[in-house]
């Protein structure tokens, strides 16, 4: 809170106490004067205030006024100025930590220190709120962030799949969140209390993969000096996540298919089979349909795991999610690194939106973390981004007058449109973000982010009444 916003309710109007002068040390501040409680309540509903001063010269008793104010905004610090002090009223007012009670005779002397005390409390609360919002995810589903239609469809599929026991194939480019999907399905399923066992089919040497997956008996092969349970059995009662499934060698594909069909495993070198109860979630970023067509992946296994397919959209197709994710990663990085960086500048958002993100969310996360770690400015700027990102996305027009690339020109148009749209919208609603978001059919968080990006704030659209 830089400039405290104080609302005064005093039936005597500007002829009452000289509030501006009494609060001189707090300047600059924004002071609004209301004669009547009703008008003040209206202001409270529309705007955010840091402090209310209530002078109960006539009309209802101060504790009644206070109760009405509290109902409108339970957090708001209040100073009550009472011309006819009574112990009961004073006690009622002082019960709350965020309320001061001043007798009218003492008001001139004590108003300022009281206001300072209460404002420092609300400054602390405002800081806590910023922190809380930074940590809280704007729209999240089981660890996912993003509200684009494509991702909402993914969430809904995950929910439906989790409730059943079918095997699932997750496809999508690298870094799109395939492992996150697997974990979300497990976490939302009846198996959540059971194990989640990831197997990286590409990282384990072929020679070891069979016994890793299915286990072995003692003496099954040279070096097998003890019997060992495989990962499939390990996942009994839970979820087996076969990552990079396209790398699974063909002979093992056949054996895996048997396990999935029979729900039984035979360890290497064993005679009998053991029953297992697993759900398989497999993931690949390779074009698996094409691999099937070319014979590099068994068609029968493909049909078996492709019962339900969740295809993650590339980040570049998720529209506004890029900004949402970037902001979240920036806040988190600043907090983790203990850097006093206030996020990313507007032109950074423009560059990020124009880049094609071959490494998707993982790449975005790395780019943003790096910018937060390197920057020397209050907000990370374009110069803190890797050259290849800026070169590929095109600098925004403001800092590159000669930009003529399609993406740069489009970003420029979009930015101009956004600013005009927001200005008109906020003017229409006098800075009431909730009402504006409703009209624009945008989530409030998105609207706030857009406003922030264009340096607009609701307060400057409020019609001042004096
Ligand atoms: N929608 C999202 N919201 C927040 N974080 C995400 C989202 N999608 C991915 N991430 C994060 O991005 C990183 C990459 O995700 P993940 O490992 O699930 O991708 P992947 O598709 O398995 O990639 P690869 O194909 O390279 O294995 C992780 O740190 C993950 O937490
Ligand atoms: Mg992965």
> Is 179 a pocket residue for ligand 1 (Cβ < 6 Å)?
yes
Residues of the chain with pLDDT under 50: 1, 133-138, 399-403, 466
Ligand at minimal distance from the CA of 327 is 1
Separation between Cα atoms, residue 458 and residue 212, nearest integer Å: 59
Residue 178 CB–ligand 1 contact under 6 Å? yes
* Residue located nearest, by CA, to atom 5 of ligand 1: 144
Q: Enumerate helices (H) and strands (E) in the chain, giving the number of each.
A: 19, 16
pLDDT at 93: 77
Between the CA of 311 and the centroid of ligand 1 the distance, in Å, is 13
**Sequence ranges of the chain with CATH classification 1.10.8.60:** 321-461
Q: Whose CA is nearest to atom 26 of ligand 1?
A: 174
SS3 348: helix
Residues 6+ apart with CB under 8 A from 121: 77, 97, 98
8 A C-beta contact, residue 265 and residue 231: no
Tell which atom from ligand 1 comes closest to the C-alpha of 170.
21
Quick one: which ligand is closest to 138's CA? 1
332 Cβ below 6 A of ligand 1:
no
Domain with CATH 3.40.50.2300 in the chain: 5-135
* CA 244 / ligand 2 centre spacing (Å): 7
- What's the whole-model pTM score? 0.61
Cβ(360) – ligand 1 distance below 6 Å = no
Q: Is the CB of residue 146 below 6 angstroms from any atom belonging to ligand 1?
A: yes
Whole-number Å distance between alpha carbons of 333 and 349: 16
Measured in angstroms, how far is the CA atom of residue 451 from the centroid of ligand 1? 28
212 lines ligand 1 (CB under 6 A): no
First to last CA, the chain: 23
For 5-135, which CATH class? alpha beta
pLDDT at 392: 87
146-313 classified as CATH 3.30.1360.200 = no
Q: What is the CATH number of domain 321-461?
A: 1.10.8.60
Whole-number percent of the chain with pLDDT over 70? 91
Please, where in the chain does CATH 3.40.50.300 lie?
A: 146-313
pLDDT in tens, 52-98: 998 877 777 777 888 888 888 877 889 988 888 878 778 877 777 78
pLDDT value at residue 303? 94
The three-class DSSP label of residue 175 is: coil
Q: Is 285 in the pocket of ligand 1 (CB under 6 A)?
A: yes
Rounded distance between C-alpha atoms, residue 405 and residue 317, angstroms: 20
């Amino acid at each position: 809170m830089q400039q405290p916003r104080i609302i005064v309710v005093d039936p005597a109007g500007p002829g009452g106490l000289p509030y501006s002068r009494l609060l001189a040390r707090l300047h600059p501040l924004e002071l609004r004067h209301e004669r009547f409680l009703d008008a003040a309540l209206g202001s409270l509903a529309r705007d955010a205030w840091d402090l209310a001063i209530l002078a109960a010269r006539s009309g209802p008793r101060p504790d009644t006024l206070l109760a009405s104010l509290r109902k409108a905004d339970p957090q708001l610090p209040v100073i009550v100025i009472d011309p006819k002090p009574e112990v009961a009223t004073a006690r009622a007012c002082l019960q709350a930590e965020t309320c001061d009670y001043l007798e009218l005779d003492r008001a001139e002397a004590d108003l300022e220190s009281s206001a300072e005390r209460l404002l420092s409390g609300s400054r602390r609360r405002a800081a806590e709120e910023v922190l809380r919002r930074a940590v809280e995810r704007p729209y999240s589903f089981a660890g996912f962030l993003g509200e684009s239609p494509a991702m909402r469809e993914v969430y809904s599929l995950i929910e439906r799949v989790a409730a059943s026991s079918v095997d699932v194939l997750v496809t999508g480019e690298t870094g799109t969140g395939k492992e996150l999907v697997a974990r979300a399905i497990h976490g939302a399923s009846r198996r959540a209390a059971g194990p989640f066992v990831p197997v990286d089919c590409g990282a384990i040497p072929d020679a070891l993969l069979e016994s890793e997956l299915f286990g072995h008996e003692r003496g099954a092969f040279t070096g097998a000096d003890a019997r060992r349970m495989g990962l499939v059995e390990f996942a009994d009662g839970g979820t087996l996540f076969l990552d990079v499934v396209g790398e699974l060698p063909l002979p093992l594909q056949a054996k895996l298919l048997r396990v999935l069909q029979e729900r039984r495993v035979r360890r290497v070198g064993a005679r009998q089979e053991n029953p297992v109860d697993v759900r398989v979630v497999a993931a690949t970023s390779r074009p698996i349909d094409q691999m099937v067509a070319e014979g590099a992946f068994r068609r029968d296994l493909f049909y078996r795991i492709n019962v339900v397919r969740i295809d993650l959209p590339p980040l570049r197709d998720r529209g506004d999610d890029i900004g949402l994710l970037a902001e979240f990663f920036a806040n988190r990085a600043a907090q983790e690194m203990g850097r006093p960086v206030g996020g990313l500048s507007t032109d950074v958002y423009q560059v990020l939106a124009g880049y094609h993100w071959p490494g998707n969310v993982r790449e975005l996360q790395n780019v943003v973390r790096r910018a937060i770690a390197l920057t020397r400015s209050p907000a990370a700027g374009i110069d803190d981004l890797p050259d290849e990102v800026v070169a590929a996305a095109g600098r925004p027009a403001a800092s590159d007058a000669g930009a003529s690339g399609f993406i740069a020109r489009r970003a420029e148009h979009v930015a101009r449109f956004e600013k005009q749209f927001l200005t008109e919208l906020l003017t229409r609603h006098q800075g009431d973000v909730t009402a504006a978001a409703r009209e624009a059919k945008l989530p409030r968080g998105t609207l706030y982010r857009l406003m922030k990006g264009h340096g607009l704030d609701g307060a400057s659209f409020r019609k001042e009444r004096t």
